[in-house]
Structure 1
Amino acid sequence: MIHRPAVSDAARHRSSLRAPEGAAPVTRPAERTDAAPHDLPAWDLSDLYAGPDDPALTADREAAGTAATAFRDRYMGTVAGLSGADLGAAIAEYERISETLYRLMSFAQLRHATDQTDPTVGRFYQGLHEAVTEISSRLLFFTLEINQIDDDALAERLTAPEAAKFQSWLRDLRMFRNHELPEAMERLLHEKDVAGRSAWVRLFDETLAHMRFDIDGESRTVTEALDQLSDTDRARREAAAKAIGQGLSGQTRLFAHITNTLAKDKQIDDQWRRYDHPMAARNLANQVEDSVVDALVAAVKDSFADTAHRYYGMKARWFGQDKLATWDRNAPLPDAEDRRFTWDQARDTVLSAYGAFSPRMADVGRRFFDNAWIDVPPRAGKTSGAFAHPTVPSAHPYLLLNFMGRTRDVMTLAHELGHGVHQVLAAPKGVLLADTPLTLAETASVFGEMLTFRSMLDAETDPRRRRTMLAGKVEDMLNTVVRQIAFHEFERKVHTERREGALSEERINAIWMEVQAESLGPAFDFDDGYKVFWTYIPHFIHTPFYVYAYAFGDCLVNSLYAVYQSGTVEGFQDKYLDMLAAGGTLRHRELLAPFGLDASDPAFWRRGLDVLKGFIDELEQVA
């Protein structure tokens, strides 16, 4: 997923944040990995600021405040009358101020992500968030006034090169014209966010970071506990699942209250902004039509029987069981080796796969390892899962991992490095033009995973290990496609029912179990503790309706990779890197056209799902 600071509506979520038990590979307890945490690289944030007391940070905050006030004094009430050249100059100044604010919040967010339990870090994050929110509220008038310009008048302004440079940003900005409120209301909502929605999100994050799960007498973080669900020892998996269920049950009342509050907050926002349904705002931000999302969801749901149900039925037979327990879902196959990778091996595996596709792509990826741009070791208080944060074009992205040495951790590295490469290539477009919608933001990450998997599979000659690798890939794809669409359906039902009143813990649990049973199928025996596993999924809290972007990206990449393998598109690699470098300047139709693909065609999604079905077919043959 991609994380952009909450500075304005135009600054949407830009970071890849993979849920540890959902689309994302799970992680491994620190003491059981091949490298102790102190042997693994940590990031150096000094390319942003030397520390919270850095004079440059204070100077930037003060300069941004002064510039925002001057900008408001100069342009408020005059935007509609600006010439094309002057409008372009004003947008360029708006971009410069925004970049400073993004740099400030990027530093605060990244620092907080590595230790969400330290109150000093939390206070610094909250204080800077409040300061940046107050400064950025002075700029809200600008985009609102732009959207009040008549279409013909704006088209005339765009004949000036200074304004034409920002044409795609203006195009995307004007999608929200019919959903904006008067400036005073927008400013009020913006400033209250730090004591509203953002405060609830922080409460969720820090509650989860503080939680510990007692597993066989050992205290585990949520990252460590979730990772044990992939242990080779079934008794250890069961112990972890029951500890997680018991621990989360003790906080279900709080998590249900957070969920109800944020869903109601979104409902109010949607009503005032005239969105027709709970997903409408997300689809608009993703620059994807409702019909395209509906086609994706329908195609995946129609595939449940031939993908998840078929695979997990086969897995139950491999385990010699009539039914799988929930703690068997991500379990290694019975004859699988507990293969571990050192950090150096993981790095070389991913860069080799990237390099075989494109040396230029590998060169960009190598910069993350040659510099301190990745925070790798799992630590108490560190956010679980993994993400890529683009920060600002004048700096560079940062990656956060919780590396434990499993094959799935190698895939997570390949995924997040794909985001990082994408962000580096798009950065020259500038803050306003580099942003990609979530649906396209997952393209580079999933493509990076596919390259790495194919490279590892092609190099493997042992039939048993190949079967293990195929099964692992199928499970990752099921987690990325089937499971994420189930998550999407859970969100859709919760938000729809919330419009009629608050949901009880029991009702939210019931919705969760309904969508899990539908998607995973009859091969599972769902234990009672599993009903609360919805509580720790960060996507539901951070970015409502993010999750379908994973399925969108996976199916898109499957189709894209099939074109690459076919060799029918000359210069595929250069076209692919050009697509990433376009940032947010092009829509999905324009980006996919050079490859002969069209996401609005229902057959597009079926073609992507056929890749998953083909892997399952191959597993049935080798089994």
Structure 2
Amino acid sequence: MSEADQQWDLSPLYKGPDDPELSRALADAAAVAEQFRRDFRGRIAADSLSADLLAAALRGYRELQQTLLLPYLYAQLLFSADSEPDAHKALIARVREAWSAISEQTLFFELEILRIDEEHFSRLVKDPEIADYRHYLEQLRVHTPYTLSEEVEQALKRKDLSGREAFVQLFDELSAGLRFSFRMPGEEDEREVTGEELLSLLYHADRSVRETAFSTFLRKHAEQSLVLTSCFNNILLDHGREAELRGYPDLMTPTHLASETAPEMVERMMEVSEQNYALAQDYFALKKTLLGYETLKNTDLYAPVGGEGKHYSLDEARRLVLDSFGGFSPRLAEAAAAFFDERRIDLLPRPGKSGGAFCMGMMPGRLPYVLTNFTGTLRDVSTLAHELGHGVHYTLSQKQHLFHFHAPLPFAETASVFAEMLLTRHLLQHERDRETRIALLCAKIEDIIATTFRQNVLTRFELAAHRQRGEGLLSADDFCRLWWDENKKLFGDKVEMIEPYRWGWSYISHFIHARFYCYSYVFGELLTLSLYQRYLEEGSPFVPKYLDLLASGGSDRPQALLDPFAIDLADPGFWQKGYDVVRGLLDELRAVLD
């Protein structure tokens, strides 16, 4: 893979941050927003509202959103690839301000939809012109009890720009700008490295390297405690005050509404997860034996065993992922290959680039982009499969209109986790070396632990922090204590946490970007384990049903989308089945070890 192919090409979107087309799009969006307001304000909630008028308004609103989304998403991609240039910072600030201003202009539209008489609304959504928007409209109207007047909603949006969103931007810039002085393995001198390079060393074979690297990473964040604690305090306070203002019955209510998940179902899922913490502890004890340690530290959780220390080139990783996708469906492999062929993927870490990995879904008519920080580990290969799973999901849902394009939050991780399972089984089927098979099983079990149990811990920590913030300002020590206590419940007496891990909360961007997002990982992982088990049982008849699920985007309720698979999300036994798969993987690992 050439050097150019390792970075994405954003030129099909815009030629650069100073592209006149970008400025024109922002100006056009502002003008269209003003016209939209003149054309429809006061007419949507009227008793005389016709299906034709509502359909015209929905089309106009959708087109306006897409006009504004392109520069907005481009700015985010540009900033994620390199946050250092002032031009990139200026552009993302500019598009956020434009988004805020246009959102104020058009805020009336969704508010008026909420005020349509229920009987009148029921007649309207039966009209063929409106039927395609039904789920969007119904989902919008569940927010009716918590929506305020247009003037107050406008004030909240205006406040967010210099309030919550400003702290999000501060956190992002600080995180992306952190540099660490560290002597990398095999090198003689210390040099400046990125956080991603340090975190990748958690998979290094040398125990002291793992602990030193993670400690260096966490202590740098501790040095930034003033800024990080301020970001967390203000974002938590903002959410609590808004929840109070809107009258939400619970801090998680807005997430449940957006995710279309019942609070009781999510709590049941989390309780089942906690009841299975012993499974994770069984694996930790097994890992300690495999490593030959007297004590297992949390920096040892991803230590390589057997053949896990193998390094993969980008070309190898690409081939493995595409082959595993192709074994399930050629359509899946073709959609994933297009990311490389069309340079819609940015692969390697570098200064200024955002850490971690993500897939930017874009919108109908614009194919998604993927960012990773590939360093050659088995984990990185799995991450590549994960993000390309997201990418395939967004590719298949292109047939949906904008309002049904994104899958509900709990489904957001389904395709990505399924992709990881395809990769793992592909590797296991073609690998005969005992040590490598051990490594593959350990990696998969560790990944499931990270995506279920750990995300459950993160959700409990976040909820505890939000609740305690409602009682007063939290100190850095408060955050560290809450983090330590929740992690202790998972690790029990099987894992010893290193002291700097008290700061493990401080770098997790989900707490900053999306309230209580982490439970969706638990949902997605357990759901996917169940779906994958169905695939193993049904074989090829399962494939079209699964592809249809991905292509459905967010066009219906989660339960309705799962009806073809006869899955009942309200059944606690369903969530337990996911953990039964984990138990089966543990048994498979023990069989290889015997």
TM-score tier by shorter-chain length is over 0.9
- Compute the TM-score of the two structures, normalised by the length of structure 1: 0.92
Residue pair 1:403, 1:409 contacting (<8 A) in 2 also: yes
> What per-residue deviation string (whole Å, max 9, x for no partner) do you get for residues 548-590 of structure 1?
111110100010111111118x721111111111111121211
Q: 1:213 aligns with which of 176, 180, 185?
A: 180
Give the AA of the match of 2:21: A
TM-score, normalised with respect to structure 2: 0.96
Q: Deviations over 1:52-78 (max 9, x none)?
A: 222221221111111100010111111
Structure 1 residue 319, shift from structure 2 partner: 2.1
Deviations 1:406-430 (A, max 9, x none): 1111111111111111111112211
2:68 to 90, 101, 106: 101
Alignment-mate amino acid for residue 276 of structure 1: P
Write the deviation string for residues 78-118 of structure 1: whole angstroms up to 9, x where unpaired: 11232011101110100000011111110111001111232
Cα deviation, residue 337, structure 1: 4.8
1:138 to 2:111 alignment: no
Tell me how far apart the structure 2 counterparts of residues 98 and 245 of structure 1 sit (CA, whole Å).
40
What are the residue-to-residue correspondences of 1:123-162 with 2, within 5 Å? Answer: 123-162=90-129
Q: CA deviation at 1:276?
A: 1.4
1:60 aligns with 2:25: yes
Aligned equivalent of 1:79: 44
CA distance in 1: counterparts of 2:557 and 2:52, whole angstroms:
26
Corresponding residue of 1:18:
none
Q: Contact 1:386–1:402 (CA<8 Å) still a contact in 2?
A: yes
Distance in 1 (CA, whole Å) between partners of 2:290 and 2:336 is 38
Q: State whether residues 200 and 258 of structure 1, in contact with CA within 8 Å, keep that contact through their aligned partners in structure 2.
A: yes
1:384 equivalent to 2:351? Answer no
1:466 aligned to which of 432, 437, 441? 437
4+ runs deviating over 6 angstroms: none
Q: Cα–Cα, structure 1 residues 49 and 39, in superposed 2: closer, same or farther, change >3 Å? A: closer
Match of 1:179 in 2: 146
Q: Secondary structure at the match of 1:219?
A: strand
- In terms of mean alpha carbon deviation, does 547-556 or 156-165 score higher? 156-165
Partner residue of 2:266 out of 290, 293, 308: 293
* Alignment partners' CA distance in 1, 2:531 and 2:523: 12
Given that residues 361 and 367 in structure 2 are in contact (C-alpha distance below 8 angstroms), is that contact kept between their aligned partners in structure 1? yes
Deviations 1:143-181 (A, max 9, x none): 000110011101111232222221111011111111111
Q: Does 1:229 align with 2:199?
A: no
State the AA in 2 paired with 1:68: A
Alpha-carbon displacement from aligned partner over 1:483-533 (angstroms, at most 9, x marks no partner): 100001100110111111111111110111111111122122222211111
CA contact (8 A) 2:483 2:502 kept: yes
Instruction: Map 1:327-406 onto structure 2 (within 5 A).
Output: 327-333=299-305, 335-406=306-377
Determine if the alignment matches structure 1 residue 120 to structure 2 residue 87.
yes
Give deviations 1:292-320, integer Å, cap 9, x for gaps: 10111001100001x21111111112222
Per the alignment, residue 545 of structure 1 pairs with: 516
Could you say which residue in structure 2 is the equivalent of 1:10?
A: none
Contact 1:386 1:399 in 2 (8 A): yes
- 2:498 maps to which of 486, 511, 527: 527
Hey, what's the Cα distance between the residues in 2 that align with 1:363 and 1:476? 26
Quickly say closer, same or farther: Cα 1:330–1:337, change in 2 above 3 A.
Answer: closer
2:17–2:87 contact (8 Å) kept in structure 1: no
| C-alpha deviation, 1:40, in angstroms | 5.1
The residue identity in structure 2 corresponding to 1:331 is A
Q: Does 1:284 align with 2:251?
A: no
| Partner Cα distance (1:373, 1:400) in 2 | 9
Contact map agreement 1:230 1:332 (CA 8 A) in 2: yes
Judge conservation of contact 2:363–2:405 (CA < 8 Å) in 1.
no
Query: Pick from 561, 565, 568: which aligns with 1:591?
Result: 561
- Name the SS for the 1:483 alignment partner: helix
- Find the aligned partners of 2:227 and 2:24 in 1 and give their Cα distance: 39
CA distance in 2, matches of 1:40, 1:297: 42
Deviation, structure 1 residue 364: 1.6
Shift of 1:338: 2.0
Q: Tell me which residue corresponds to 2:187.
A: none
Shift of 1:344: 1.6
Q: Among residues 579, 582, 594, which one is paired with 1:609 in the alignment?
A: 579
The partner residue of 1:412 within 383, 389, 398 is: 383
| Mapped contact 1:322–1:523 kept (Cα < 8 A) | no
Given candidates 456, 462, 467, the residue that maps to 1:491 is 462
- What do the CA deviations read for 1:591-622 (whole angstroms, capped 9, x no partner)? 11111211111111000111111111222333
What residue identity is the alignment partner of 2:116?
Answer: I
**2:304 and 2:420 mapped to 1: Cα distance?**
19
Aligned to 2:215: 242
Q: What whole-Å deviation, never above 9, does each CA across 1:231-288 have from its counterpart, x for those lacking one?
A: 1111211221221232121112321121111100000111111111211111111000
Find the aligned partners of 1:403 and 1:319 in 2 and give their Cα distance: 26
Query: Residues of 1 paired with 2:307 and 2:433: CA distance?
Result: 12
Secondary structure of 1:46's counterpart equals coil
C-alpha separation in 2, matches of 1:241 and 1:389: 28
Question: What is the one-letter code of the residue matched to 2:162?
Answer: A
Q: Decide whether the 8 Å contact of 2:308 with 2:378 is kept in 1.
A: no
SS of equivalent residue, structure 1 residue 476: helix
Report the 3-state secondary structure (helix = DSSP H, G, I; strand = E; otherwise coil) of the residue aligned with 1:324: coil
- How many angstroms apart in 1 are the aligned matches of 2:421 and 2:290? 26
Please give the root-mean-square deviation of Cα atoms over the aligned residues, in Å. Answer: 1.4
Amino acid at match of 2:360: H
- Matched to 1:377, the amino acid is L
Alignment partner of 1:581 is 2:551: yes
Deviates more, 1:600-609 or 1:126-135: 126-135
Q: Distance in 1 between matches of 2:195 and 2:116?
A: 50
Counterpart secondary structure, 1:47: coil
Q: Which has the higher contact order (CA 8 A, sep 6+)?
A: 1
CA contact (8 A) 1:85 1:160 kept: no
Q: How many residues align?
A: 585
Q: Which residue of 1 aligns with 2:186?
A: none
Q: In structure 2, do the counterparts of structure 1 residues 160 and 39 end up closer, same or farther at CA, with 3 Å as the change threshold? A: closer
> Is 2:292 aligned against 1:320?
yes
